[in-house]
Amino acid sequence: MLIIPKEHYQTWFDIPEETQVQLIQLMNKAKQFLDQQYSPRGYQVFSHVGKIAGQKISHTHFHLVPVY
């Protein structure tokens, strides 16, 4: 599942703290949904920051990947 802010921010570190809190809350809600619907055994949560780290899209986004 992708978590993507509506406003443009290039990386996590460009996001205002208040918005970071809202994104974390949204990610927690997304996890609860995935837990109820699919019962994964774990998760991978990640974001690429910077070209050297694999960032290919200049709009920050977060991967919430269930693991079975």
Cα(14)–Cα(4) distance, integer angstroms: 14
- pLDDT of 63 reads 98
What digits encode the pLDDT tens for the residues 12-28? 999 999 999 999 999 99
Q: Give all domains of the chain, ordered by start, each with its CATH number.
A: 2-67 (3.30.428.10)
- pLDDT of 12 reads 96
What digits encode the pLDDT tens for the residues 24-59? 999 999 999 999 999 999 999 999 999 999 999 999
Contact 5, 25 (CB under 8 A): no
Task: State which amino acid sits at residue 22.
Answer: Q
- pLDDT of 36 reads 98
